[in-house]
Structure 1
Amino acid sequence: MTTSRMFLNLSPYSLPAAALSVMVLLGTSVTASADEADAKRLLKAMSDYLTAQLAIAFDYDAILEVVTKDDQKLALAGSGTVTLDRPDKILATRSSGFANVEMSFDGKTLTLLGKDLNIYAQEDVPGTVEHLVDELRKHNRPLPAADLLLPNPYEALMADVVDVKDLGSGVIGGVECDYLAFRAKEVDWQIWIAQGEHPYPCRYVISSKLMNGEPQYSIEIRDWKTGDAVAATDFSFTNPTDAKKVDLKNLEGTDELPKHFQMGEAQ
């Protein structure tokens, strides 16, 4: 199986007729509650809340869509956890049908552990979590919900945005959320923000406009904790299972795609 791109997409194929009719109606225009100033205010409030939290922990479920060479859309599902201690410590896990990965960073050293193969790789990356996010992107190993973990999420999220909509509310995991949609030059993205005193992101969806099939990446956040509710965490790697150290390029079983997927060229 050869994938032509790695990202995600929603498609009308095989949807019931009633759902298709709704999509056709929505296709004309979406103007309900399209208050740009209010949407920006809600996003800024979320950003300010996130920035003010020195310790954050949450569980997540994520879907990464890929589009095959023959235009079949496939959704790769995974789950994991994130614990952040600002400004320079993070522990993240990701488990799927083909990978079981732990990433730890103590402000000096990045460690990636492939739990199933009991191998790990390390790299010196002194600095903040923001710097780590940039370094991981160079290696095509993004942190889950990385934009939301930066010191100023609003600035990162609003880069190149050309259209903003406040689409009212929705419910994610039983939590009532403000539902916002944004369009940028290369991606469309949506976010659901919990209403109330703790406006944390409940769901975040990114759609690529530069890839065939407009694939999506979505992450749903649950069990949100901050401050004293975050359990004490050791961010340093101690190798309790006597894992074998390998070079980062030889760290098998930790990629976003399984081995039987071969990356093709982007559009």
Structure 2
Amino acid sequence: MHSTPLTLALCAALLAAPAVHAQDASASTSTATVEPKALAALDAMGKYLRSLKTFTVHGDSTLDLVMEDGEKLQFPGTVDYKVRTPNGLHMDIKTDRKERQLFYDGKSLTVYGSKNNYYATVDAPPTIKELLGVAADRYDIEFPLADLFLWGTERAPTSALKSATFVGPARIGGTVTEQYAFRQEGVDWQVWIEAGSKPLPRRLVITTTDDPTHPQYASTLTWNTSPSLSDANFTFTPPKDAKRIQLVAVDVPAAGDEEGKP
């Protein structure tokens, strides 16, 4: 099948988790089920993530897809991030069916498909935080594990939570963690946070509850919080014979709209 620019863009969402950060902040909460310990853990995790200047993270992920007849299929894959705040990001997604890379250097965003050797480059805003919004709103690109970049900011409001519970201690890949469970409109999610002075999320499970089949996304995370990264990690150099195509915006302004309006 011939690849279109939109197909190339949307593939970045293949292993994207249902968002746990973008719910209505006015959603009602119940003080009886929102435990202060769980909220404090989220706050500590968010502050620590936002304090990191550079990091790499590898996610071993699975995604449930539901067929039209209700049969549920599970697809494994990996996602790797190299990040240098505020304006350097490289993402590498691999599944049995797709391989995609994304490069961002604070000036441009490039999506590259290595199997078909197609790439698309567009201008980008100056920070990763702004990039997430532009990529989603303008190009319908959802970043896998996007909450890693939003916890600890105003875009991850705890006021959206209907319940928040400390489950108990657990080990993830030999790391001692504390497991927490949260509920908000349409989504149940769990996070295993590393115990101690580095409260990193080590595992994330998200269940879509407004779908009767309750599909899940799960990812186990491996971190390096002091990697050696350079400009080359975030700069795309087209391979030989790579073909440039257009990354199509999902909402093109109609004729007569104000010039420059998003």
TM-score class normalised by the smaller sequence? 0.7 to 0.9
Residues 83/159 of structure 1: CA separation in 2 closer, same or farther (3 Å cut): farther
TM-score (norm. length: structure 1): 0.75
For 1:233 and 1:159, locate their aligned partners in 2 and report how far apart those are by CA, in whole Å.
38
Query: Does the 8 Å CA contact 1:8/1:66 hold for their aligned counterparts?
Result: no
2:251 corresponding residue in structure 1:
none
State whether structure 2 residue 93 is matched by structure 1 residue 94. yes
1:49 corresponding residue in structure 2:
48
> Following TM superposition, by how much is the alpha carbon of 1:35 offset from its aligned partner in structure 2, in angstroms?
7.5
Q: Mind listing any 5+ residue stretches in structure 1 that lack a counterpart?
A: 1-5, 10-33, 250-267
RMSD of equivalent CA atoms:
2.4
For 1:152 and 1:44, locate their aligned partners in 2 and report how far apart those are by CA, in whole Å.
6
Query: Does the 8 Å CA contact 2:34/2:162 hold for their aligned counterparts?
Result: no
> Following TM superposition, by how much is the alpha carbon of 1:212 offset from its aligned partner in structure 2, in angstroms?
2.9
Residues 193/157 of structure 1: CA separation in 2 closer, same or farther (3 Å cut): farther
> Following TM superposition, by how much is the alpha carbon of 1:129 offset from its aligned partner in structure 2, in angstroms?
0.8
State whether structure 2 residue 224 is matched by structure 1 residue 203. no
AA matched with 2:218: S
For 1:193 and 1:46, locate their aligned partners in 2 and report how far apart those are by CA, in whole Å.
7
Query: Does the 8 Å CA contact 1:102/1:114 hold for their aligned counterparts?
Result: yes
Query: Does the 8 Å CA contact 1:62/1:218 hold for their aligned counterparts?
Result: yes
1:256 corresponding residue in structure 2:
none
For 1:140 and 1:209, locate their aligned partners in 2 and report how far apart those are by CA, in whole Å.
22
2:243 corresponding residue in structure 1:
244
Query: Does the 8 Å CA contact 1:47/1:154 hold for their aligned counterparts?
Result: no
2:192 corresponding residue in structure 1:
192
For residues 137-188 of structure 1, the C-alpha deviation after alignment (integer angstroms, 9 at most, x for no partner) is: 2333221211111372585163511101000111111111110000001211
Q: Which aligned pairs between 1:65-76 and structure 2 lie closer than 5 A?
A: 65-76=64-75
Structure 1 stretches of at least 4 aligned residues deviating more than 4 Å after TM superposition? 6-9
For residues 89-108 of structure 1, the C-alpha deviation after alignment (integer angstroms, 9 at most, x for no partner) is: 10000011111111011111
2:230 corresponding residue in structure 1:
232
TM-score (norm. length: structure 2): 0.77
2:182 corresponding residue in structure 1:
182
For 2:162 and 2:96, locate their aligned partners in 1 and report how far apart those are by CA, in whole Å.
37
How many residue pairs match? The answer is 219
1:85 corresponding residue in structure 2:
84
For residues 64-92 of structure 1, the C-alpha deviation after alignment (integer angstroms, 9 at most, x for no partner) is: 11111111111111113101111121000
1:23 corresponding residue in structure 2:
none
For residues 23-79 of structure 1, the C-alpha deviation after alignment (integer angstroms, 9 at most, x for no partner) is: xxxxxxxxxxx8711111111111111111111111111111111111111111111
AA matched with 2:190: Q
Q: Which aligned pairs between 1:14-163 and structure 2 lie closer than 5 A?
A: 36-138=35-137, 139-150=139-150, 152-153=152-153, 156=156, 158-163=158-163
> For 1:197, what is the secondary structure of its paired residue?
coil
AA matched with 2:104: F
For residues 223-247 of structure 1, the C-alpha deviation after alignment (integer angstroms, 9 at most, x for no partner) is: x1123x3433521211133411012
